[in-house]
Amino acid sequence: MKKIAVIGLGIIGGSICASLTKAGFTVDGTDLNESNVSYAIKNGYIQARAEELSGYDVVFIAIPPAATISVLDTAKFKDGALVSDICGVKEVIEKAVYAKPRNYRYVGMHPMAGKETSGIRSASANLFNKANLVLVHAAQTKEKDVDELKTYAHKMGFGRIVECTAEEHDRKIALTSQLAHIVSNAYVKSEQVKGCDGFTGGSFQDMTRIAGVDEKIWTQLYMHNKSYALEELEGLIEHLNVYCKALREGDEQALSDALKEGRLIRETIKRGND
Nearer to a copy of itself, 57 or 168 (CB): 168
CB of 235 to a copy of itself, least distance (A): 6
Nearer to a copy of itself, 30 or 68 (CB): 68
State the amino acid at position 249 in one-letter form: E
CB of 137 to a copy of itself, least distance (A): 14
Contact 86, 173 (CB under 8 A): no
**H helix runs in 101-188, sequence order:** 143-156, 166-173, 180-187
Nearer to a copy of itself, 74 or 205 (CB): 205
CB of 66 to a copy of itself, least distance (A): 11
CA 48, 54, 59: angle at the middle one, nearest 5? Answer: 65
| DSSP code per residue over 24-92 | T--EEEE-SSHHHHHHHHHTTS-SEE---GGG-SEEEE-S-HHHHHHHHHH--PPTT-EEEE--S--HH
CB of 92 to a copy of itself, least distance (A): 14
Nearer to a copy of itself, 138 or 164 (CB): 164
